[in-house]
Structure 1
């Protein structure tokens, strides 16, 4: 029975991890509430493995490891960290940690780490007993180099995952990520659809494939919620042929739901997957599941925020019947221009949402000015000019809309630098703001106000052409004239 010490300041983490450790095999788990408590326990007894959190009061994980090395450098340490602290885990590996696990815990990861660390401890102990220090150092260096290389690759891919804010992008990029990580020539993402698995995104030559989940190896993997390794000499679950390389299947999970399966085969260097490679792949899939879950929560949160902000816009437009539907019309025109100048998907999405919110700052402008039925005085116009900054300040605490903020703040800048609020000029003005400026001006000129009648389409177009190069970006003006609205189709 191996003794394992779990050091963490959170009760729930200690309890869950201890239970998983004891379930994983012949291990007896004991706990410590922080680094100092852990050192006291180690001073009073022999332990085979230590799990330690990095963020703890009294004595943090790195300092605890340094003190532990002084007491007993032979005890392997496994670092417990959150996904967002993987860079800290990498630093801990450089300080001598044997491995790391991420929260929330995955039982298969815990079991694998315990088995691997125990095996390495036994090997090192036998080498140490033989007294061959040169062999010991060589073995340690080789193991450390390999582990650091694996962690660096996993960390780089984790950073890529963090940038993918929609699940379709995750599905599309996942096969290439896994192919790089495991040096595999064939990686297939199988999506679960209507009780069948269907080949979706893939790396390598893959035929169209569909198979019922029930009664297949995919059904077995889904039921067990764990990976399945089909080895050389067995039958391929897809083609039915005898395998010349291992075939690894890992479930793609989202909570209790099985979204699909990742199939990995055709290794480029050796025919079989090592235990380390299987663990790397399952660890990555665990991170992918977290990314998918976070993206789903992000979409719900954004949807709620958008609904709230759109309600604010409707409130503003309800105050002034003459600007009703203004934001909607401006956004529609801006999207036409975006199509003409071939905006990126990111720019188009920012226009679609930010265009609707571009005047949200007017909620901070007094009614006596916003609803004034005659021309504004200079002082009143100065107050109106504050609305882009007010709008930026309303949206900025949300933290999720950086491009939309640029559009809201800068849609009244001028190409010649004489606009507001920041006096930007030329291409220093974000392109999406230059686009919205033209759309906003056209709709304002052609809309009727209490103190003037809206201009005819041709008159408004002539005015916009006249201001190209001063108020507006000439390229955006040319693009606008080619749009349906610019051609008069918006009348």
Structure 2
């Protein structure tokens, strides 16, 4: 018999022996226990199947001829719930050996005759053990990769870095099979100023003996492992020292993002090192992307603040120019606000997009800005204008466009202001544009401007009635105005009482801008 070198020390393999002969069971179990195997035995095949189903075993040794079912039937049923266990079949009758096809189909790894000597059986068992070690390595690698693959979608959900570190720590503990681990991230590897992204200089999560605030880890644990942490990062490889496993986290262009650590009783084998390398690469990518996203969000936040300040400045400029026009002609105070309001209502009813509506809103406020270049005597004259005076006042759209063209922020407004006195039939001014040649924003403002002018008192006439103003719009369809736009505007005016109430503030001599129609509304 082969000499037992391992003695009774457990070798980590669990064996199940099934035979309806108790003497054979006792002899086999005694032999393999001395080889270091953990052995369980059973005489009844049906009871054995229940035990096999409820437990974990590496090797099954069983007799072929048994009652109430034979060994091949036992294996056939076994394979329905366990394809990993290695099977060695014994027989005391050579002539009653199972067919070769049966052995192949049932994936029976070994077959031998019963004997008082166990040399052949031991060789088969040792061969199975070697295969089991190899296959367990493969299964472990597969299981580890599956676990990593399951974790990857969670890693790339762009959650906060602290939460991401918690997910990383959970998977690290599962891979290393330990309760003591930590993840330490240094954002300054990616972010030159972590404070801009509202991040601390060190992001730390620990579990087990490492479950403590970072300053305690820094004072208690870090001094012990500092040299090996630096070595792991510098050499960009996994290091095991004094029971602590260190895995560097490397970003793009060899940027050091941080380190993962875990306490483990033994040095990692090649399988665990390979799994940790794969996992560390995924973690590093997720961390790198998350940190960059946080930097982008922080920059966007700053840009949004700057943009808001620019927009506030923009609207303050709009307001200042509008007040210039109001100051020029006391009789038209509030006119620009109302024109802008009507124009926006019409543009929205026509279902133009937000950018179009914004252009209409601002152009409505500034449509008469050119009047600051017209003589006060002409603007305030109570009698009918002379031909020369009318030629002067007809210059205000062009002058308005010239004024606005000097400011980049109003580059898309000047053309609209210039065209707001053009007529649909081509008889307007200053360029006698016709039909679709007139920008749609200007066609909208022309209607709003005319309607408010008719509904307001001027120094040379009293305002018209609502019915008369509507009649004038109807008469101007296709001549002065875009007919379709007029029809839609008349639909807007069906709610005129509500509109007039909302515009009441524009008739107040001491008015300020309506709080519900401020800078944000314009934008």
TM range (shorter): 0.3 to 0.5
TM-score, normalising length: structure 1: 0.45
TM-score, normalising length: structure 2: 0.42
Q: Which of structures 1 and 2 has the bigger CA Rg? A: 2
The structure with the largest strand share of the pair is 1
